[in-house]
Amino acid sequence: MTAVRHVDVLIVGAGPAGLTAAARLADAQVGRVEVLDREQQAGGVPRHCAHGGYGSWSRPLTGPAYARLLVTAAERAGAVVRTGVTALDWAGPLSLHTVGPAGPETIRARAVVLATGARERPRSARLVPGTRPAGVLTTGELQQAVHLHQQHIGERAVVVGAEDVSYAAAATVRAAGAVVVAMLTDLPRARTTPSRAADARLRQGIPLLTGTTVTELLGHARLSGVRVRHRDGRTAALPCDTVVFTGDFVPDHELARRGGLTLDTGTLGPAVDGSLRTSRPGVFAAGSVLHPVESAAIATREGAQAAGAVLEALAGVEHQDGVPLAVAPPLRWIVPNRVTPAPAESGLPHGLPYILRTTAPLTRPLLQVTQDGRTLYRQRLARALPYRPLVLSARWTHLVDPEGGPVRVTLSGR
Amino acid sequence: MTAPAHGAVTRRGPLPSPPYDIAVVGAGVVGSAIARSLAHHPHLRIALVEAEDDVGQGSSKANTAILHTGFDATPGFLEARLVREGARLLAAYAAAAGIPVEPVGALLVAWDEEQLAALPRLAEKAERNDCTDTRLIGPAELYDREPHLGPGALGALHVPGESIICPWTTNLAYATQAVRHGVDLHLNTRVERASHPDGTHHLTTSRGTLRTRWLVNAAGLHADALDRALGHDDFTVTPRRGQLLVFDKFARDLVRHILLPVPTALGKGVLVAPTVYGNVLLGPTAEDLDDKRATVSTAEGLEGLRDKGRRILPGLLDEEVTAVYAGLRAATEHEDYRISAHPERAYVTVGGIRSTGLTASLAIAAHVTDLLAGAGLALGPATELDPIRMPNLGEAFPRPYQRPELIAADPEYGTLVCHCERVTRGEIRDALTATIPPAGLDGLRRRTRARAGRCQGFYCGAAVRELFEGARK
């Protein structure tokens, strides 16, 4: 039997969401706040994102600098950040089995925050046929190889995907001294800002093959090329020694699922309400485990929101269960994906805005929130773009009937 | 007693020039088992010669990982006897060596009347193969045993003796034990030509000439080519490709037994089986090919497997696919194994070892050793081999991260590197310094499971590579 140790709040995952929650909670003097991370370094994905785009407008930072800042802030506030410790499984509703170099330990908390992040689906999960050579990577592995370990990755790389992470992967390939042979996407256009797409294509000379899929990996010991097919039926073999499968993130929901937490069918992450409470009382979730994947800024906002909800829970505030929130195409998912009616007279803030993703670009679309045929809210957006999260205000949540059916959110063109 | 002198493990450079007493060509599960069997005789100078850079790189690494009972073998065939004997031998060896085995049992599920009608005949065949504990079960018990089975199953034959096993550890255990008892393992040594000019075999290889008085051909897919080079024309290997899908560990709870198809005139279906690593396998396809390197998966193959898997276990298709692989079985035009001694040429062929080779491996090795002795090889005195204990890769037994006493003695066993498969730095270090170290990251994966999980290296790939490259410096 391993000993049980008690903490006040246990946070799993020391990325932007987990560290932000830890800093807030430690600041609020709730007792022992402990963050676990299975990696040797805290900081999460920004650790290996050597590019900028982190921090604030007034203080832009690279990923690694931002990761260090978050760790320092959490520790300075009094949180304990423990690296090299893995949360293996649940030992009880609010306790976890862990293991690290010091051995196994069961940690029981008064509240648990899951901030376990997301990963890219690898080649096998995408069912890309062919051989199994070396040189087949995801962005996560590529960035760690290049930026954390200074490893040689190859000479000629094909980048599969054309969204923000794909362009970051292309930049990493180039930083490692290799050539990006092409980027390709099965979509009709790149899923990034037009300026970023144009910069890669025109200034860096990276061809973008749209409407194109990888149909086969070639080569025995080492990748020798990828066979591709265009939507119009044309095929080609692109010689390369490296292929990077980018994007197509899935939440790292292993702990959530092992704990029997309700998952949202759209995001595959744990279902949460506006306070980021999961289906299990005392367990909260924040960051990319909720939605694959948004910016570090959104993750930190969620970390702060979860911290607030943890404080309420520790203070004994009871909450209703709420009703599910569902989206219809072209919307892919919405987070939070349950809604607990907020008392209108309480004067409290309505919580975080809801974020959504669409598959189709729309100009001046209408976001509409209904419950049992009753319209709760309408919001006209300037535009909906697949490469940007849509933001839906939470100003309607007090209108939700807690006894009613699911709340539906739709997006329609003019 | 002195410890036996280790053999050499070489991957490059010239081969030793003095002739060996015996050389085994092919370090798959069969060749390695034969080398291990011969290693009982310390007076023999033995070489195990392998074309690839590691042991078990052909059919031995990419199969369905089942320890068969031999219930469906053709009674009277050599294969039937060797599978039956081999299953018992390997079960005992695995238990002693720490090779993970789970006796989950198999269910041959009948989905139509024709298949249902075939079950009693299979039960009777099993009886003739000394597999006496099979039992026909009706749909109620079937669905009770397998609640996630797709609708429409009519009944099943339960074969309790079928087990799942780790094929990689088995192959590596044989080869490691052989090397520890003096067998030289020469990797990256492809036999290109063979001649027998002066009572000694001259094998022209990619690393120069290797001379040996006796020769065992366990070259698997390439056994026919070597056999012909030595003047025999006994069989032709037609590689039969099997593509397989490995599903996420979250699928493991969906299935309790090995779900086998019922063979009928219309051919064999696919199986769904748990793995000792805690995943679920779906496959294999069966495609007769010409190319002995065609271990590629195809879109049609994978789609076909998914269609069949959806019927057998609908929930399986909702889970992520962790890995896809394709293996080639060494099928020949003959139904039975082709194992024969040619005393005049001091040569034994071990051909046509199909999907049952893993199960039968120890019995094949004993059989081949007997054939060699009968053909005139002076084995000399026999000794017991030092027992071997392999690192455990199976979920049914404690892994290092689950062993507090091990972590207390060495914190490296509490330092997880591969998070999906929970592989520790201690295990990776051990594999890199083992008797037969891996040649690359794939070899390391088969020894430790590092990078074999659902993220396929997203989290740990670069860190594992760092440990591997650090060990080579």
Mutation pick from B188, B279, B297 vs chain A, by most beta carbons of A within 10 Å, is: B297
In a domain, B34, yes or no: yes
pLDDT at B265 over 80: no
Do B245 and B322 reside in the same domain of the chain? yes
Do B351 and B427 reside in the same domain of the chain? no
Taking CB atoms and an 8 Å cutoff, what residues of chain A touch B416? 38, 84, 86, 99
In a domain, B87, yes or no: no
pLDDT at A15 over 50: yes
| Environment class of A69 (CB within 10 Å of its CB; exposed 0-12, middle 13-18, buried 19+) | middle
**For the domain that residue B131 is a member of, what is the CATH number?**
3.30.9.10
CB-based contact B60:B28 (threshold 8 Å)? yes
Mutation pick from B423, B446, B459, B460 vs chain A, by most beta carbons of A within 10 Å, is: B459
CB-based contact A21:A306 (threshold 8 Å)? yes
Query: Which two tokens mark A318?
Result: 């009871």
Domain count, chain B: 3
Nearest to A124 among B324, B402, B412 (CB): B324
Taking CB atoms and an 8 Å cutoff, what residues of chain B touch A148? 462
Nearest residue on chain B to A138, judged by CA atoms? Answer: B458
Q: Please report, for residues A5, A118, B217, B229, the alpha-carbon distance to residue A292 in angstroms, rounded to integers and kept in the order given.
A: 33, 6, 53, 58
CB contact under 8 A, B407 and A120: no
Query: Which two tokens mark A166?
Result: 């794909």
CB contact under 8 A, A101 and B407: yes
Nearest to A104 among B404, B441, B459 (CB): B404
* pLDDT tens-place string over residues B49-86: 999 999 999 999 988 999 999 999 999 999 999 999 99
In a domain, B80, yes or no: no
CB contact under 8 A, B458 and A220: no
pLDDT at A346 over 50: no
Nearest to A141 among B296, B454, B462 (CB): B462
Domain extent for B56: 9-60+168-236+334-375
Which residues of B have a catalytic role annotated? 68
CB contact under 8 A, B461 and A119: no
Taking CB atoms and an 8 Å cutoff, what residues of chain B touch A50? none
The chain B residues in contact with chain A (CB within 8 A) are 246, 250, 293, 295-299, 301-302, 320-325, 401-402, 404, 407-408, 411-412, 414-416, 419, 422, 440-442, 454-459, 461-463, 465-466, 469
Taking CB atoms and an 8 Å cutoff, what residues of chain A touch B323? 124
Taking CB atoms and an 8 Å cutoff, what residues of chain A touch B293? 220
pLDDT given for residue B355 in this prediction: 82
Nearest residue on chain A to B323, judged by CA atoms? Answer: A124
Do B443 and B295 reside in the same domain of the chain? no
In a domain, B84, yes or no: no
Do B154 and B174 reside in the same domain of the chain? no
Nearest to B461 among A88, A141, A215 (CB): A141
Taking CB atoms and an 8 Å cutoff, what residues of chain B touch A140? 455, 458-459, 461
Nearest to A130 among B250, B297, B321 (CB): B297
pLDDT given for residue A347 in this prediction: 43
Query: Which two tokens mark B78?
Result: 């050599």
> Among B331, B346, B361, which residue terminates a domain?
B331
Taking CB atoms and an 8 Å cutoff, what residues of chain A touch B324? 124, 127, 129, 132
* pLDDT tens-place string over residues B341-379: 999 999 999 999 988 999 999 999 999 999 999 999 999
In a domain, B40, yes or no: yes
Say how far apart CA A129 and CA A227 lie, in whole Å.
Answer: 10
CB contact under 8 A, B459 and A140: yes
Say how far apart CA A258 and CA B249 lie, in whole Å.
Answer: 11
Gap from B337 CA to chain A (nearest CA, Å): 29
Gap from A167 CA to chain B (nearest CA, Å): 17
Taking CB atoms and an 8 Å cutoff, what residues of chain A touch B401? 86, 88, 99
Do B109 and B186 reside in the same domain of the chain? no
Do B195 and B265 reside in the same domain of the chain? no
Nearest residue on chain B to A100, judged by CA atoms? Answer: B414
* Residues contacting B405, CB < 8 A, separation 6+: none
CB contact under 8 A, A151 and B469: yes
pLDDT at A1 over 80: no
pLDDT given for residue A343 in this prediction: 58
Gap from A271 CA to chain B (nearest CA, Å): 18
Mean pLDDT of chain A: 94
Of A235-239, B128-132, B287-291, B449-453, give the lowest mean pLDDT range.
B287-291
pLDDT given for residue B4 in this prediction: 72
The chain A residues in contact with chain B (CB within 8 A) are 2, 38-39, 84, 86, 88, 99-104, 119-125, 127, 129-132, 134, 137-138, 140-141, 144-145, 148-149, 151, 215-216, 220, 250, 257
> Among B375, B391, B408, which residue terminates a domain?
B375
CB contact under 8 A, B320 and A134: no
In a domain, B66, yes or no: no
Of A346-350, B10-14, B254-258, B428-432, give the lowest mean pLDDT range.
A346-350
Per DSSP, the residues of A152-215 read ---SEEEEE--BHHHHHHHHHHHHTT-EEEEEE-SSSS-BS-HHHHHIIIIIS---EE-SEEEE
Do B254 and B304 reside in the same domain of the chain? yes
Nearest to B419 among A38, A121, A132 (CB): A38
Say how far apart CA B190 and CA A2 lie, in whole Å.
Answer: 52
pLDDT given for residue B471 in this prediction: 87
* pLDDT tens-place string over residues B171-207: 999 999 999 999 999 999 999 999 998 889 999 999 9
Mutation pick from B318, B456, B467 vs chain A, by most beta carbons of A within 10 Å, is: B456
pLDDT given for residue B62 in this prediction: 86
Do B244 and B228 reside in the same domain of the chain? no
Do B199 and B243 reside in the same domain of the chain? no
Of A374-388, B21-35, B83-97, give the lowest mean pLDDT range.
A374-388
CB contact under 8 A, A102 and B411: yes
Nearest residue on chain A to B294, judged by CA atoms? Answer: A131
pLDDT at A144 over 90: yes
pLDDT at B248 over 70: yes
Closest to B275 (Cα-Cα) out of B340, B219, B322: B322
Taking CB atoms and an 8 Å cutoff, what residues of chain A touch B296? 129-131, 216
Mutation pick from B187, B455, B472 vs chain A, by most beta carbons of A within 10 Å, is: B455
* pLDDT tens-place string over residues B91-121: 999 999 999 999 999 999 999 999 999 999 9
* pLDDT tens-place string over residues A60-73: 999 999 999 999 99
Taking CB atoms and an 8 Å cutoff, what residues of chain A touch B472? none
- Asked whether the CA dihedral A27, A28, A33, A38 is positive or negative, the reply is negative
Taking CB atoms and an 8 Å cutoff, what residues of chain B touch A120? 458
CB contact under 8 A, B422 and A88: yes
Nearest residue on chain A to B419, judged by CA atoms? Answer: A38
SS3 of residue B272 by DSSP: strand
Angle between helices B357-375 and B29-38 (to 10 degrees): 40
Size of interface A-B (CB pairs under 8 A): 114
Nearest to B414 among A101, A144, A257 (CB): A101
Per-residue pLDDT band at B387 (split at 50, 70, 90): very high
DSSP state of A277: B
Do B219 and B253 reside in the same domain of the chain? no
CB contact under 8 A, A38 and B462: no
**For the domain that residue B16 is a member of, what is the CATH number?**
3.50.50.60
Do B325 and B339 reside in the same domain of the chain? no
Taking CB atoms and an 8 Å cutoff, what residues of chain B touch A86? 401, 416, 419, 422
CB contact under 8 A, B457 and A141: yes
CB contact under 8 A, B454 and A125: yes
pLDDT at A345 over 50: no
Nearest residue on chain A to B404, judged by CA atoms? Answer: A103
Longest dimension (CA), chain A: 67
* pLDDT tens-place string over residues B209-243: 999 999 999 999 999 999 999 999 999 999 999 99
Gap from B250 CA to chain A (nearest CA, Å): 9
Positions of E strands within A20-129: 33-37, 54-55, 60-61, 80-83, 86-92, 95-100, 103-108, 111-114, 118-120
Q: Which residues pair with A6 in a beta bridge?
A: A108
Match 């080779």 to its residue by tokens: B357
In a domain, B36, yes or no: yes
Say how far apart CA B253 and CA B147 lie, in whole Å.
Answer: 10
In a domain, B118, yes or no: yes
pLDDT given for residue B431 in this prediction: 98
Say how far apart CA B397 and CA B390 lie, in whole Å.
Answer: 12
- Section A214-242 average pLDDT: 97
Do B186 and B205 reside in the same domain of the chain? yes
pLDDT given for residue B1 in this prediction: 47
